[in-house]
Amino acid sequence: MKANVLIIGLGLIGGSLAKALQRHDDVHVAGYDADPLTARKAFKMGIINSCPPSLEKAASEADVIVFATPVGATLRLMEQSKFWDLKKDVILTDTGSTKAQIMEAAGTLNHAFIGGHPMAGSHKSGVEAAKDMLFENAFYILTPAEGVSTDQVAFLEELLSVTKANIEVLPADEHDYMTAIVSHFPHLIAASLVHQLAKEEQYPFAKQLAAGGFRDITRIASSNPEMWRDITTQNNRMIAHQLTNWMAEMEGLRNLLLDNKPESIEQYFQQAKTVRDELPIAGHGALFSVYDLYVDIPDVPGVISELTGYLAEEQISIVNLRILETREDVFGILVISFQTPEDRERAKNCISKRTAYDTYIS
């Protein structure tokens, strides 16, 4: 397909999308960023094909304009776009993780707008972290505005097909409701668990014990506070609804504990295990995932460098590694994190082939 694409905002998402779209032979990707140094860096790194000095001129030449900016900035740019000299059949889209405000603003535009949300992320940020494989197997949700034709949606789907993402078309309110359940609300829960630990003054050693499983299940509480401030305020009603449901669930659990019937408590955990075990493993969900491999290793000098050396020889990239000191009901003592399930599986095979250490996937 042939198209001129303008990506506004060259962070991790915008930069990665720019790189992926260059897989098309006839797609020209122009990039613009509020920071000129970022745009020039993206051009020198080959992330974009051109670095136009004027946003308005670049917009006038684009067939597709992608707002890869925070929702607040996107809303301002959408308002500005009313004064740009755009092509009649241009398609505007965004990458924001909430859609209600975006789609409301889209109703005031004179050009086709298709909301977008690539559900992918990384432990790194900025244009330097951009990579064309970021969206592979991730869900990429599209939310077309009223009046957008099926041909326009199909065109954008074809354009995005080279990202190798799983593209789904949903109404904006359904998108916001479901992401509140599986992404936005869990961030609040993780943050609240950390707050509860922080208030524990009677037993300060509890923070040392939190180095194991507690730190893992609250990992998402380390996400960018400004980003999650915006997401929470923009989707507050959906999240508050989930919080109401959660409080009812917690009240039921509290009563279960007070009744203290072993069979009922076991059943509660069994139901949770069954549902959790049936969740899909392949692909990416709404939360950024890393893929952990647990390795039982002896406490001897050089063993970690031995393992990482084997992985380096097979060119398997590691996201993170850590030693677990609190291991109650957790496999292994060394946890190695990978960007993709394929890398984790390769690592598992590599370690099993070269050592006698047991490896587990939780």
Distance CA 158, CA 333 (A): 45
Q: Are 109 and 23 in contact (CB under 8 A)?
A: no
Q: Which range (7-21, 135-149, 181-195, 215-229) has the least confidence? A: 215-229
CA atoms within 13 A on the CB side of 292: 19
Confidence bin at 49 (pLDDT 50/70/90): very high
Tokens coding 356: 């006698």
Distance CA 160, CA 164 (A): 8
| Radius of gyration over every alpha carbon of the chain, rounded to an integer in angstroms | 23
- The distance of Cα 102 from the centroid of its chain, to the nearest Å, equals 19
The pLDDT, as a whole number, for residue 333 is 73
| pLDDT tens per residue across span 107-124 | 999 999 999 999 887 656
Distance CA 92, CA 52 (A): 18
In angstroms, what CA-CA distances link 324 with 81, 125, 216, 285, 295?
Answer: 51, 26, 10, 26, 10
Q: What domains, with CATH codes, occur in the chain? A: 2-170 (3.40.50.720), 175-277 (1.10.3660.10), 291-360 (3.30.70.260)
Confidence bin at 285 (pLDDT 50/70/90): low
Residue 32 has pLDDT above 90, yes or no: yes
Reference 128, options 51, 47, 28; nearest CA is: 47
The pLDDT, as a whole number, for residue 287 is 54
Q: Are 218 and 192 in contact (CB under 8 A)?
A: no
Q: If 0-12 CB within 10 Å is exposed, 13-18 middle and 19+ buried, where does residue 275 land?
A: exposed
| pLDDT tens per residue across span 74-84 | 999 999 999 99
Q: Are 293 and 317 in contact (CB under 8 A)?
A: no
Reference 94, options 168, 17, 185; nearest CA is: 17
Higher pLDDT, 53 or 105: 105
Confidence bin at 183 (pLDDT 50/70/90): confident
Residue 61 has pLDDT above 60, yes or no: yes
| pLDDT tens per residue across span 293-308 | 888 877 678 888 999 9
Residue 51 has pLDDT above 80, yes or no: yes
The pLDDT, as a whole number, for residue 257 is 95
Tokens coding 144: 């077309």
Distance CA 340, CA 348 (A): 13
Q: H-type helices in the chain, by residue range?
A: 12-21, 36-44, 55-60, 71-81, 100-106, 150-160, 172-179, 185-198, 206-209, 213-217, 225-234, 236-259, 262-277, 303-313, 341-354
List all residues 6 or more positions away from 140 whose beta carbon is below 8 Å from its beta carbon.
Answer: 116, 117, 118, 119, 160, 163, 165, 166, 167, 168
Residue 326 has pLDDT above 70, yes or no: no
Average pLDDT of every residue of the chain? 89
